[in-house]
Amino acid sequence: MSEHRPVGSHTPTSGGLAKAALPYAAEIDSEVIQVYVANSRGWALPPGDPRQDALFRAGCAERGLPVFIHASLLVNLGSPTPETVRRSTEALAHGLRRGAAIGAAGVVFHAGSAVDASHAEAAMLQVRAALLPLLDEAMATGGPRLLVEPSAGGGRSLASRVEHLGPYLDAVDRHPWMGVCFDTCHAWAAGHDLAAEGGMTRTLDTLVATVGAERLRLVHANDSKDLCGSTRDRHESIGKGSIGEPAFAELMTHPATAGVPVLVETPSGDRNEGHAADIAVLKRLRP
C-alpha cells in the first residue's frame, strides 16, 4: 500500500455534482472528495443527473481524486421502528448505486442505535439482515464498499468506541466488503482521550487490533468543540478545538493511516480559515 495519505474535504454539490464539487476541490487543494448524493437529513432518493455524473467521474479520474459518499444522517439499521430500518436499507442501496455511477470507493454510514436497551439484540440482527445482501451484491459487482462509522456515543449506540466495531463486524460475518471510517471527533466524544500524549496512537492501535488494518478505508479528521466523553458531535477546525494539533500529527504518521484518505468535515468558513486551512495543516503534518 502507498504511504501517501490523500487529504481533502466533504464537498458541496449544490448546483450540480461536477459543476459545484470539482471547482471547490481545486480551490481548496483537495486530494480526495466526499459528497452527499441525497438530502443529508431526508429520505428522498434522487436518481442523479447522468451528464453531471459522467463529468464528475471523468474530472475526478483526470485529477486522481478518490471519491466517497456519505449516506443520509437518518440511516439507522438498529432502529426499533421497521419503517426506519426499511428506509435506511433503501438509502444505503441508493448510495451504492450512485457510488457505482460516479466511481466512488465507499459509502459511509453511521453505525446506528438500538434506541432502547430491550431492542439491543434485535438491532444487531437487523444490521445483519440489511447489510449482508448489500455487501454481497456490491462485492459481486465490484462496487463501492460500505464503511461503518462509529457514532459519538450516547443513547444505545451500536458502535461508538472503536472496540465496539468487533461485535458490529461479527454481525455481518466480517464480510470482506465491509470497511471502517474512523472519525476523530466521534472517537473523542465517545471517550477516547486523543489529546493525551500517545492517545491517538493507542486508539488507532486498538482499532487495528479490533478490525485489522486493512478495514480502515477512510478517516474523518475533525477537531471538537466539546470535552472528551461528551457524546456531542460538534466539529471544530484542526488545532482549534479540544483535541488539538499534536493528536492529528500522531494520526497522520500512524502506520494504520498509510495510504488511507483523510477528509475534514470542519466548518467551511472562507478560503483562508475553512477547509483550505485545515487541509493545509494536515498536509503539513503528514510524513
CATH number of 168's domain: 3.20.20.150
For residue 250, which of 208, 214, 205, 187 has the smallest C-alpha distance? 205
In the numeric block, the cell 449482508 is attached to: 132
Whether residue 243 is contained in a domain is answered as no
Please list the pLDDT of the chain residue by residue as tens digits (287 residues). 457 899 999 999 999 999 999 999 999 999 999 999 999 999 999 999 999 999 999 999 999 999 999 999 999 999 999 999 999 999 999 999 999 999 999 999 999 999 999 999 999 999 999 999 999 999 999 999 999 999 999 889 999 999 999 999 999 999 999 999 999 999 999 999 999 999 999 999 999 999 999 999 999 999 999 999 999 999 999 999 999 999 999 999 999 999 999 999 998 765 557 999 999 999 999 99
CA dihedral 74, 189, 281, 261 (to 10 degrees): -50
Whether residue 267 is contained in a domain is answered as no
In whole angstroms, what is the distance from residue 198 CA to residue 87 CA?
41
Residues 6+ positions from 26 with CB-CB distance below 8 Å? 63
| Alpha helices in 64-176, H assignment, sequence order | 82-102, 120-141, 165-171
How many beta carbons lie within 10 A of that of residue 206, not counting itself?
A: 16
Q: Which residues pair with 216 in a beta bridge?
A: 180
Q: Which residues of 103-131 are buried (b: 16+ CB within 10 A; e: fewer)?
A: bbbbbbbbbbbbbeeebeeebbebbbebb
SS3 (DSSP) at 128: helix
**What's the grid cell of residue 184?**
476523530
Number of domains forming the structure of the chain? 1
Evaluate whether 175 touches 140 at the Cβ level (below 8 Å). Answer: no
Predicted pLDDT at 2: 59
Phi, psi of 103 (to 5 degrees): 80, 30
SS3 (DSSP) at 175: coil
Q: How far is CA 160 from CA 61, 110, 113, 141, 169, in A?
A: 34, 10, 10, 30, 13
For residue 236, which of 247, 248, 250, 222 has the smallest C-alpha distance? 222
**What's the grid cell of residue 77?**
439499521
How many separate helices (H) and strands (E) can be counted in the chain? 9, 10
Whether residue 253 is contained in a domain is answered as no
Predicted pLDDT at 1: 44
Whether residue 248 is contained in a domain is answered as no
128: containing domain: 7-178+193-218
Whether residue 153 is contained in a domain is answered as yes
DSSP 281: H
- Supply the pTM of this predicted model: 0.96
Predicted pLDDT at 142: 98
In whole angstroms, what is the distance from residue 284 CA to residue 278 CA?
10
SS3 (DSSP) at 237: coil
Whether residue 244 is contained in a domain is answered as no
Whether residue 83 is contained in a domain is answered as yes
Whether residue 43 is contained in a domain is answered as yes
